[in-house]
Structure 1
Amino acid sequence: MVTLIRPPPVDSSQSAIENVLELTQLSDIDPDLFTNTRPLWHPPGARGIFGGAAIAQTLSAAQKTIDPEFTVHSMHCYFVLAGNADIPIIYHVERVRSGKSFATRTVQARQRGKVIFTTTMSFVRQNSGGQQKVEHAHPMPDVPGPVEGKDDMELHSDVRSPFQSQRMAIENDDSDQPHIKKCRQWVKARGTISPAGGHEAHLSAIAYMSDSYFIGTIARAHKLWRYSTQRKSNAKSSIDEDVLKKLLAMDDAELKRQEFVDEADIQHIRRIKNGEDISKDAPPEIGMMVSLDHTIHFHNPRSFRADEWIFTEMETPWSGDGRGLVYQKMYTQDGTLIASCVQEGVVRLRQNESRL
């Protein structure tokens, strides 16, 4: 059983992402204990559950212990162990401080008594900044808007994702300087988030979506090969092997319509399909790519809807020593900056093994 308590029927009045992130409060044990109401998603080929689920559910748990006049403005997270989708998660909220203007919460996610994820969050009382404020925001770049009906999440898994995604061509992709490249996408929660969910549901939803392709920016900026079927014995691939099979079945026109497939990927796929010997000059291949930490600073936290298109832009200032760092900005479609995120992750190349 993948939940501690039998899940109730899916609430049709709620969006898919609300149902996915629903928590059950374990009041009889401790009012600050929560568990996942529904099974958690384990992306095909990934080491554990989707990291965005842990980020979002810890936020949801903390929000249930906060005065409604307070809103989250930052959260700092660490991925400690890979989450197991076959075991329920217990979320423990610690009420560190509840002040007049700010409140602090820490949340630990545990499985089998071990911490798999931990985060510290800060909440601020609404309109506590005074009438006169220091204000500025980085503007949203001029980019094409989203196209209705396109969704690159559908190719990645037979399990329908609770959000949609449209990746765009990499800015400055021809450069040999990874740090000036920008990886962009449009995302939004499927369906309509219910009025009952309030602003908390929208905040949890963008926390969930903020982990989409995040550390993968390193691989894209360096044009690393991500679709290998080669693996060590008893080791799981770090990506979805079924995606490669689907890509190999497509012609060039179909491949170019897949926003998440970069030009470097298309060239490599074309050579594989042509039966060329690419063992000597194949691009470097990802051996391991997992998130270590994740930070979100929320801006204008009650002025957006997560079920409307949100533009994200990611860039990487540094990678080295088996790790990489990525920055992300998230905007509403009208250009309002709603979140700034940072993630560091393990990025290791496959060593001394034959590659496709």
Structure 2
Amino acid sequence: MTEVARAAASGLDDEAGSGGQVVLDRLVALLDLEKIEENIFRGVSPPHSPVRVFGGQVAGQALVAAGRTVPEERKVHSLHAYFIRGGDPTVPIVYEVDRIRDGRSFTTRRVVAIQHGKAIFSLSASFQKEEVGLEHAETMPDVPGPAALPTLPERAAEYADRLGLHSMPRPIDIRYVNEPPWVTRESGERPARNQVWMRADGTLPDQQLLHVCVLTYASDMTLLDSVLARHGVYWDLDKVIGASLDHALWFHRPFRADEWFLYDSGSPTASGGRGLATGRFFGEDGTLIATVVQEGLLRVV
């Protein structure tokens, strides 16, 4: 999905250029699924959506559906998902939860998202009761803090018309640490890493599952940019066709999605019309909070 489509998918308010708490509250409402039967939930898309449902949205909603069938004291520690078909933003999405296993330490759920009688997305998620064990973590890269960095609209001002970012409200505040990929594309640089600070643009309720789902939503933003940047191309500035194929997340430690986290991503390989991207999320205090891997369809035509 193009970055323009990502921004549009994040547009949860009809006032051009707005953001902040109002837009974030609408994301929270988007993740508040309707229960229509035991193990069956229904979600909708924002009124102003692109042609396809934003991948982070369906992943976040599917995780909400899974989490609502699990005891609150068990926390999600991983998810593995496949994007099967492009979602239709004009009709609701039905999420069917299969209660695979309820063990003494772990709970496993499988979720299938359905539209027009066909699966568009599948997710497996594992939840665990809190335990004490071995502890270690990689350290956060040495980067400037978010307060010193311009916002996405400020950074993209010169490219606003070409990127379609000037009028897209976003519930996630994004601030680039290094030069954005649309700048490196023109300078001829081939950066090995893509680094952005992110946070929910407002205050979220004190519900841990919601914070995890908001990070899941945000994790589909900017990740495949790290693949394209290695080749000096970018979504709407070049003829790139792209879509998320699969997505995996591991949650290592508690966090709040309305506090700053660094999204450090790179691409180890691309081949066969697909690109692989890996990412790490660090809290502002340097804590490693999550790891992500995604493969995407990427065709330059």
TM over 0.5: yes
> 1:20: Cα distance to partner?
2.7
What TM-score comes out, normalization by structure 2 length? Answer: 0.82
> 1:39: Cα distance to partner?
3.1
* Separation of aligned partners in 2, 1:120 and 1:184: 28
Confirm or deny: 8 A CA contact 1:217 1:314 kept in the other structure.
yes
Alpha-carbon displacement from aligned partner over 1:256-315 (angstroms, at most 9, x marks no partner) = xxxxxxxxxxxxxxxxxxxxxxxxxxxxx4431111000000011xx3110111110000
Match of 2:295 in 1: 344
Match of 1:34 in 2: 41
**2:138 is equivalent to residue 138 of structure 1:** yes
Choose which of 240, 244, 253 in structure 2 pairs with 1:287: 240
Match of 1:15 in 2: 25
Match of 2:226 in 1: 217
* Separation of aligned partners in 2, 1:217 and 1:139: 20
> 1:319: Cα distance to partner?
0.3
Confirm or deny: 8 A CA contact 1:286 1:347 kept in the other structure.
no
Choose which of 221, 232, 249 in structure 2 pairs with 1:296: 249
Alpha-carbon displacement from aligned partner over 1:102-134 (angstroms, at most 9, x marks no partner) = 01000011101110110101111112x4xxx22
Alpha-carbon displacement from aligned partner over 1:165-202 (angstroms, at most 9, x marks no partner) = 1122159x79x996x7010001111210023xx11111
* Separation of aligned partners in 2, 1:38 and 1:291: 18
* Separation of aligned partners in 2, 1:114 and 1:66: 26
Letter in 1 for 2:147: V
SS in 2 for 1:62: helix
SS in 2 for 1:82: coil
C-alpha RMSD of the superposition: 2.6
Unpaired runs of at least 5, structure 2: 1-20, 155-159
Identity %: 34
Match of 2:6 in 1: none
Confirm or deny: 8 A CA contact 1:16 1:191 kept in the other structure.
no
Match of 1:184 in 2: 195
> 1:153: Cα distance to partner?
5.7
* Separation of aligned partners in 2, 1:295 and 1:136: 21
Match of 2:96 in 1: 92
**2:275 is equivalent to residue 317 of structure 1:** no
* Separation of aligned partners in 1, 2:148 and 2:115: 39
Choose which of 61, 67, 70 in structure 2 pairs with 1:63: 67
Confirm or deny: 8 A CA contact 2:247 2:292 kept in the other structure.
yes
Choose which of 116, 121, 132 in structure 2 pairs with 1:112: 116
SS in 1 for 2:124: strand
Match of 1:147 in 2: 147
Confirm or deny: 8 A CA contact 1:153 1:161 kept in the other structure.
no
**2:167 is equivalent to residue 158 of structure 1:** yes
Letter in 1 for 2:114: R
Letter in 1 for 2:40: L
Confirm or deny: 8 A CA contact 2:189 2:232 kept in the other structure.
no
* Separation of aligned partners in 2, 1:291 and 1:157: 24
Choose which of 272, 283, 295 in structure 2 pairs with 1:332: 283
* Separation of aligned partners in 1, 2:169 and 2:215: 18
> 1:162: Cα distance to partner?
1.4
> 1:149: Cα distance to partner?
8.6
Residues 160 and 177 of structure 1: CA distance in aligned 2, closer, same or farther (over 3 Å): closer
* Separation of aligned partners in 1, 2:218 and 2:55: 10
> 1:333: Cα distance to partner?
0.4
* Separation of aligned partners in 2, 1:143 and 1:23: 37
Residues 168 and 148 of structure 1: CA distance in aligned 2, closer, same or farther (over 3 Å): closer
Confirm or deny: 8 A CA contact 2:194 2:225 kept in the other structure.
no
Match of 1:73 in 2: 77
Residues 81 and 140 of structure 1: CA distance in aligned 2, closer, same or farther (over 3 Å): same
Residues 323 and 41 of structure 1: CA distance in aligned 2, closer, same or farther (over 3 Å): farther
> 1:158: Cα distance to partner?
2.7
Could you say which structure has the higher strand fraction?
2
Confirm or deny: 8 A CA contact 1:20 1:40 kept in the other structure.
no
Unpaired runs of at least 5, structure 1: 1-10, 229-284, 351-356
Match of 2:214 in 1: 205
* Separation of aligned partners in 2, 1:38 and 1:347: 25
